[in-house]
Structure 1
Amino acid sequence: MSLSPFHLAIPVHDLPAARAFYGEVFGLEEGRSSEQWVDFNFFGHQLVIHEHPQTPTQEQAHTNPVDGHDVPVPHFGVVLGWEEWEALAERLRARDTRFVIEPHVRFKGQVGEQATMFLLDPCGNALEFKAFKDMNQLFAK
């Protein structure tokens, strides 16, 4: 499956903390930047963090129930290969990351079975990372 990279720009109210989080915690390569924004190579996609006053969803995210967990809304993330997801989960655990939803397998034994984890960046933006052993399950009903 060949995908085009997406571009996502998100607000951050503490640019230095967010820059360190995406650069050091995830080890993302930094691209162009200014005093108000920074580009990152987010697993082959373009993520831009823009300095902006704190938003209501960063202060207190809404949640929806999914498979017994309260999933923060809004959120963004990326679908990784299974081994890459496992390596990221270990990297985050080794850095004592506080998860909103711990790494686990969701919908076990059902259509759409997937590994998932949720966490917040230092500015309250929710991220989800997921993986499928069978990528054909990505959009399965």
Structure 2
Amino acid sequence: MSLSPFHLAIPVHDLPAARTFYGEVFGLEEGRSSEQWVDFNFYGHQLVIHEHPKTSTQEGAHTNPVDGHDVPVPHFGIILEWEQWEALAERLRGRNTEFVIEPYVRFKGEVGEQATMFLLDPCGNALEFKAFKDMSQLFAK
């Protein structure tokens, strides 16, 4: 499957803290920038953090119940290969990251088995990182 890179621009009310978070915590390569925004290579996609006053969703995200967890809405993220996801989870744990939902596996041994974790950036934007045991089951019912 060949995918086109997406472009996502998100608001951050503390540009220096967000720049450090995406650059150092995740180790993302920084691209172009100005005093108000910074581009990052988000696993082959273009993520842009834009300085912006705090939004209502950054104050306190709405949540929906999923598997006994409160999933923050809105959120964004990426689907990684299983080994990449495990390495990222370990990296984040090693940096004492506070998770909204700790890394765990959903649908273990079933169709659509997937690993997931949720966290917030320093500005309250919710991120989800996922991996599938079998990527062909990405949209399986």
Same fold per superposition (TM over 0.5): yes
TM-score normalised by the chain length of structure 2: 0.98
TM-score normalised by the chain length of structure 1: 0.98
Q: CA deviation at 1:109?
A: 2.9
Q: CA deviation at 1:113?
A: 1.4
Query: Counterpart of 2:24?
Result: 24
Moved more, 72-81 or 111-120: 111-120
Letter in 2 for 1:80: L
Taking the aligned partners of 2:63 and 2:125, their CA distance within structure 1 comes to 13
Letter in 2 for 1:91: R
User: Alpha-carbon deviations, 1:31-66, whole Å to 9, x = none?
Assistant: 000000000000000000000000000010000011
Q: Contact between 1:13 and 1:123, CA under 8 Å: does it hold in 2?
A: yes
Query: Counterpart of 1:112?
Result: 112
Q: Contact between 1:8 and 1:47, CA under 8 Å: does it hold in 2?
A: yes
Letter in 1 for 2:37: W
| Pair 1:69-2:58 in alignment | no
How many equivalent residue pairs?
A: 141
Taking the aligned partners of 2:76 and 2:93, their CA distance within structure 1 comes to 20
Query: Counterpart of 2:92?
Result: 92
Unaligned runs of 5+ in 2: none
Query: Counterpart of 2:127?
Result: 127
Q: CA deviation at 1:121?
A: 0.1
| Pair 1:58-2:61 in alignment | no
Query: Counterpart of 1:82?
Result: 82
RMSD of equivalent CA atoms: 0.6
Q: Percent identity of the aligned residues?
A: 89
**1:140 is paired with a residue of what secondary structure?**
coil
Query: Counterpart of 1:12?
Result: 12
Letter in 2 for 1:79: I
**2:124 is paired with a residue of what secondary structure?**
coil
Moved more, 103-112 or 35-44: 103-112
